[in-house]
């Protein structure tokens, strides 16, 4: 069947269309995305303003048309931290439902971590052993660890690259004092969680997902997207540590000139790099591998599993 997953994230609204059936690898058929930056559209009370909701509804309507054009049989719509944490989340969900007919499932941070972990486990297989999976989104950071398809430990922290940029790095380039303050904040938040994972033992394989990690790996020398999905892409902490001060000294326009960095993500790359560096350092990770599959694929895989059981 042809499935569509509609991901209302903190940075983008992304429709991914796949051809899939239980027991088979989902094959991408179409991708439709639009920048929204919900994490940066919150007002002083933490609510998404009327203009932001109007824009969200318009983008969802466009995605629904694209899904219809591509013959999507079933749509799996979900929202993550930007909607989850909005002060007016219920009102936003009601307007979306009334004006588009879409019932957005709001994933908890734990669900995000678990579904992303499932996608990484399926991608790397059982031979990868104990997995530590790190995902940096626009609104939150998810970390998961385990041997099986369900992780043994998960955490979700409000350390998304878009959220932190909007709240703590106003300058372009950011002020050095702001960068240092954000670095302290990020490491304090992550450090509180490390003990919950370290008691489970060292991972056999450390995996990162998300656009932030893909871009950081690319500027550190990993192969570009033109090389295909199956080329191994790594990020070493040593390389990342060398790049963080360089990124912080650049303007958004200068970062956008780097290989693999999109105009839309260049502004939040410093915050993302600080989170990535903090996580790798505090968890004692020297190198990690970037996984092409993440939350959207996890949602699809979970749906296929349920179909197979039916």
Note the pLDDT tens digit of each residue in 242-256: 999 999 999 999 999
Mean pLDDT of 122-143: 96
Distances (CA, A) of 263 to 231, 252, 256: 24, 8, 5
Look over the chain and give the mean of its residue pLDDT values, rounded to a whole number: 94
Note the pLDDT tens digit of each residue in 184-214: 999 999 999 999 999 999 999 999 999 999 9
Please tell me which residue, 192 or 227, carries the higher pLDDT value: 192
Mean pLDDT of 280-307: 95
Tally of residues, the chain: 310
Q: How far is CA 301 from the centre of its chain?
A: 17
Q: What is the DSSP track for 218-229?
A: HHTT---GGG-T
Q: Locate all alpha helices (DSSP H) within 27-175, ordered by sequence.
A: 50-69, 81-84, 89-100, 109-124, 161-168
pLDDT band at 308 (very low <50, low <70, confident <90, very high): low
**What pLDDT is attached to residue 22?**
82
**What pLDDT is attached to residue 274?**
98
Mean pLDDT of 150-155: 98
With DSSP H G I counted as helix, E B as strand and the rest as coil, what are the percentages for the chain, rounded to 5? 50, 20, 30
Note the pLDDT tens digit of each residue in 6-54: 999 988 999 999 998 888 889 999 999 998 887 677 777 889 988 889 9
């Amino acid at each position: 069947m042809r499935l569509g997953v509609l991901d209302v994230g903190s940075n983008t609204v992304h429709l991914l269309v796949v051809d899939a059936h239980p027991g088979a690898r989902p094959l991408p058929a179409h991708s439709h995305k639009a920048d929204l930056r919900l994490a940066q559209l919150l007002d002083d009370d933490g609510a998404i303003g009327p203009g932001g909701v109007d824009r969200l509804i318009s983008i969802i309507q466009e995605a629904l048309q694209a899904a219809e054009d591509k013959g999507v049989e079933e749509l799996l719509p979900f929202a993550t931290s930007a909607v989850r944490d909005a002060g007016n989340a219920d009102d936003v969900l009601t307007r979306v439902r009334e004006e588009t007919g879409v019932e957005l499932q709001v994933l908890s941070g734990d669900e995000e971590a678990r579904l992303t972990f499932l996608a990484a486990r399926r991608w790397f297989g059982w031979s990868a052993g104990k997995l530590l999976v790190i995902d940096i989104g626009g609104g939150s950071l998810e970390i998961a660890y385990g041997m099986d398809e369900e992780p043994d430990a998960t955490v979700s922290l409000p350390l998304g690259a878009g959220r932190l940029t909007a709240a703590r790095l106003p300058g372009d380039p950011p002020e050095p004092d702001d960068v240092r303050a954000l670095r302290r904040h990020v490491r304090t938040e992550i450090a509180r969680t490390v003990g919950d994972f370290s008691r489970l033992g060292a991972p056999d394989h450390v995996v990162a997902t998300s656009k932030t990690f893909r871009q950081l790996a690319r500027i550190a020398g990993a192969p570009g997207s033109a090389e295909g999905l199956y080329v191994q892409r790594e990020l070493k902490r040593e390389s990342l540590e060398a790049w963080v001060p360089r990124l912080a000294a650049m303007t958004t326009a200068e970062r956008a000139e780097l290989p693999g960095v999109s105009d839309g993500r260049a502004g939040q790359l410093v915050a993302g790099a600080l989170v990535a560096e903090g996580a790798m350092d505090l968890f004692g990770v020297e190198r990690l591998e970037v996984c092409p599959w993440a939350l959207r694929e996890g949602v699809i895989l979970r749906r296929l599993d349920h179909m197979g059981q039916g």
